[in-house]
Structure 1
Amino acid sequence: MTRETPGADGWRARLHRALHAAARPETWKRGPVLTALTLLLGLLMLLHASLPDPGGLGSLLENVLPWLGLGVPVLLAGALWRRSAPAVLALVLPVTVWLSLFGGLLTDKSRPGGDLTVVSHNVGAGNPDPAATARALTASGADVLALEELTPKATPRYEKGLATAYPHHVVRGTVGLWSRLPLSDTRMIDIMDFGPLAATKTTADKLPANRALRTTVTTGHGPLTVYVAHLGSVRLMPRTGFWTDSRDIGARALGKALADDPSKRVVLLGDLNGTLDDRAFAGITARLRSAQDAAGDGFGFTWPARFPAVRIDQILVRGVTPHSSWTLPATGSDHLPVAARIGW
C-alpha cells in the first residue's frame, strides 16, 4: 500500500477546484474585452505583412514585432485575475504565432568551421575614440571588416588604426571595407535620397553623400562579392508619423542592385536602419538570407548599444554558408558590431 504525500493531495484539490470553476457557465462569460485583445494581439503578429501602412505604422510595428510577445504574460495575468476561460484559451493564438515567428531564434544554431570571419559596425559619427574602436575591431579577428557612418575627420584615424592588420581597404563616402585579402572592382552604389528630411538633418546625417559600395574580395575559394551599406535614417515625425522614405528608397535601390548582380557568392554588411521583419526589405531578403537567423544564438539585438532592443545591423549572404553569427562588445558607438563566420 502506497502512501500519498500531503503535497499530492494539495495539487489534486487545487486542480479539482480549477476544473470545477472552469465548468461554471459564468466563467465562459467573463473577460470579453480581454479575449478580444488577446485575439487582436495574435492577429497583429500573424497578419503583420498584410496590414496597411498609414504614416509608416505598419513598418514601425514590424520593427518591434518580437516585443509583442511581452503582451502574452500581461494578458495571461489579466485572464487569471478575471477567471476568464475564453481569455486563457485565446492565448493559444498569440503564443503559437510568436513561437512560429521567433521560436527558432531561441536555440543556438552555430556550428564549428567556416573559412572567413566578416564583421560589420556602424562606428557612429559621434564616436569619441575611433582609435580604441579600431583596436577592438582588429582584436575581433575579422578577415573582412565593414564600417559605416564614417566622417571625414574620423576616417584617417580608422585607416591608421587598421592599416597593420588590414593591408587592403576602400572607402566611399561614409562606408568602407578593410580586408586581409585583396580587393578589386570597387564601385559606388547610389542609395541616397533624403527627401523632406534634408533641411532638418542631424549632425550624424551631415556626412559625405555616398552610403553604399560594392567590391570583390579575392579568396582562396574564388571571388566573393561584398556590399557595404548604410541605409537612410528613420524618424518619428510629428506630421508624417514614422518617416522611412529615405531608407525605403535605399532598400529598393539595394534590392535592385542585388537582383542584377550575377555573382554566385555575395555578402551584404551594413546598418539597414530596420529589422528584417520590416516589409521594406522584401527585395533584399528575397535574394539573401540572414546569417543570424541561420547560425545565430538569440535575437542578436544591436541598437541602442546600452540596451539593445532591435537588430538593425545585418549580415546577409548568398552562395556561402553561415556557420556562426554573434554580436561583439560595445565600442564608442551607439551600435554593437555584428560578426559571422562563413564557409564555402
Structure 2
Amino acid sequence: MLRGLRGHHWRGRDRKGRSTWHRGWILAALALLLAGVLALHRQIPDTLGNFGSLIETFLPWFGLAVPVLLVLALLRRSATALVALVVPAVIWAVLFGPLLPDKSGGSYDFTAVQHNISADNTSVASTMQTLMRADPDVISMEEITGPALPVIEQQLDGTYRYHVVEGTVGLWSKYPLTATGPVDIKIGWTRALRATVQTPHGDVAVYVAHMPSVRVHFDGGFTANQRNHSAEALGEAISREQLKRVLLLGDMNGTMNDRALAPITMQLRSAQGSAGAGFGFSWPAAFPSTRIDQIMSRGITPTAAWTLPQTGSDHLPIGAHFQL
C-alpha cells in the first residue's frame, strides 16, 4: 500500500488535471466541520430542539467519522483531506483519549452500585442477585414499582438492613441511614432522595435521583426541557449540602458531556471518568451506546468504576469503589 501511495497514481493528476493537493476539498471541509463540532460542541445552540444536548449525548461516537473520511481520502488520493483529518483526530484524542486507559487501582473501603431496574423488569429477584454479587455497601435503584418492592426487600433486607424508598427511587445500605427524605426536582412527583449513610469512616451524604426522560422526535428535536429544569433543582440541593462527603447515584438521562447537567457536573466528578476504563456505556443494555447512568462524588476518592452484567432491565448496572 505504501508503494501505491508513493506511486504515479498518488502523485499524479486526476482527469481534470488536479494534483493531490488540489482535490478532495469537500472531504477536507467535512473533516474541519467534524473538528468544529467536537471542539465547539458547547457553542451549538439548544434553542432548536435541544440540538446541542443531543449531539453531546452521543459525542464520542462522532470519532467514527474519522476512519470513514480517512478511507474516502485515500480513495480520492487527496493529501489536503488527509492533512485536514489530523485536526478532528487530535481533538477527539484530547477529549476522550484520557477515558480509554484503565485508571482503577488502589485500596477502597466503600462500594456503591447504581441501577435503574426498569418498571418492566420481570426478573427482579435475579436482578438483585446480580447487584449483590458486587458486594456493595450501598445499592441505589430507580423505577421501583409497587409489585417489585416486596421482592427487592425479600432479597436485600438480610444483608442491607437499612433502606429508604421515596416515590420510585430507593437506597439500601449495610450501614445506618439518617436524615432521609425526598428531594424536590420540580416534576410534580418524587424521583429523588437524600440520606446520610453512617459508615465506619464517617458520614456520607448520598443522593439518589432519576432525572426525567428525554425523547428524540423528528418534528420536535430532543425534548429535554423537564430534565434540564430538574438538573437545576438537584444542583441547587447539592450546593446546599452541609456534609463534605457527597455521593450522587442515579439515572441522569444525560451524559457528563451534556451541558444541561452542568449544575450537577460542575460540583461533582464522575467515578467512571476518574477511575474507570473506557466509556462505561450503560444504555441501552442490549447495545450500550451512551452512559446516562452516573456515580458522581466530591470529598471522596474513586478508585475503580465498572459496569455490571446485564439484568432484566434496559439499563446496565454500574458500580464504583471509593476510598473514604
Q: Output the TM-score relative to the length of structure 2.
A: 0.95
Please give the alpha-carbon distance, in whole angstroms, between the structure 1 residues aligned to 2:278 and 2:224. Answer: 27
Note the C-alpha offset of 1:159.
Answer: 1.1
Note the C-alpha offset of 1:119.
Answer: 0.4
Contact map agreement 1:22 1:85 (CA 8 A) in 2: no
Q: Aligned in 2, Cα 1:162/1:20: closer, same or farther, shift over 3 Å?
A: closer
Letter in 1 for 2:44: L
Note the C-alpha offset of 1:44.
Answer: 0.3
CA distances 1:188-243 after superposition (whole Å, capped 9, x unpaired)? 1111427xxxxxxxxxxxxxx21000100001121100000000000123542110
Contact map agreement 2:10 2:77 (CA 8 A) in 1: no
- Within the alignment, does 1:316 sit opposite 2:296 as a pair? yes
Aligned match of 2:184: 190
Contact map agreement 1:109 1:294 (CA 8 A) in 2: yes
Aligned match of 1:73: 67
Please give the alpha-carbon distance, in whole angstroms, between the structure 2 residues aligned to 1:63 and 1:51. Answer: 13
Please give the alpha-carbon distance, in whole angstroms, between the structure 1 residues aligned to 2:154 and 2:288. Answer: 30
Note the C-alpha offset of 1:55.
Answer: 0.7
Aligned match of 2:51: 57
Aligned match of 1:119: 113
- 1:44 paired residue among 24, 37, 49: 37
Q: How does 1:244-255 map to 2 (within 5 A)?
A: 244-255=224-235
- Within the alignment, does 1:304 sit opposite 2:298 as a pair? no
The alignment partner of 1:310 has SS state of coil
RMSD after superposition: 1.7
Q: Output the TM-score relative to the length of structure 1.
A: 0.90
Q: How does 1:1-344 map to 2 (within 5 A)?
A: 13-14=3-4, 16-17=6-7, 21=11, 26-53=19-46, 54-193=48-187, 209-344=189-324
Please give the alpha-carbon distance, in whole angstroms, between the structure 1 residues aligned to 2:158 and 2:130. Answer: 14
Note the C-alpha offset of 1:94.
Answer: 0.5
Please give the alpha-carbon distance, in whole angstroms, between the structure 2 residues aligned to 1:187 and 1:50. Answer: 38
Contact map agreement 2:166 2:182 (CA 8 A) in 1: yes
Please give the alpha-carbon distance, in whole angstroms, between the structure 2 residues aligned to 1:101 and 1:22. Answer: 37
Q: Aligned in 2, Cα 1:149/1:192: closer, same or farther, shift over 3 Å?
A: farther
Letter in 2 for 1:225: A
Please give the alpha-carbon distance, in whole angstroms, between the structure 2 residues aligned to 1:101 and 1:112. Answer: 25
CA distances 1:91-132 after superposition (whole Å, capped 9, x unpaired)? 111101100110011100000311101000000000001111
Unaligned runs of 5+ residues in structure 2 are none
Aligned residues, how many?
320
Q: What is the aligned-residue identity percentage?
A: 51
Contact map agreement 1:270 1:314 (CA 8 A) in 2: yes
Aligned match of 1:201: none
Q: Aligned in 2, Cα 1:262/1:18: closer, same or farther, shift over 3 Å?
A: farther
Which consecutive aligned stretches of 4+ in structure 1 deviate over 2 angstroms post-superposition? 13-20, 22-25, 237-240
Contact map agreement 2:4 2:10 (CA 8 A) in 1: no
Letter in 2 for 1:52: P
Letter in 1 for 2:220: T
Contact map agreement 2:176 2:198 (CA 8 A) in 1: yes
Structure with a larger share of its residues in helix: 1
Contact map agreement 1:192 1:232 (CA 8 A) in 2: no
Note the C-alpha offset of 1:15.
Answer: 6.0
Moved more, 323-332 or 147-156: 147-156
Q: Aligned in 2, Cα 1:240/1:14: closer, same or farther, shift over 3 Å?
A: closer
Contact map agreement 1:192 1:211 (CA 8 A) in 2: no
Q: Higher Cα Rg: structure 1 or 2?
A: 1
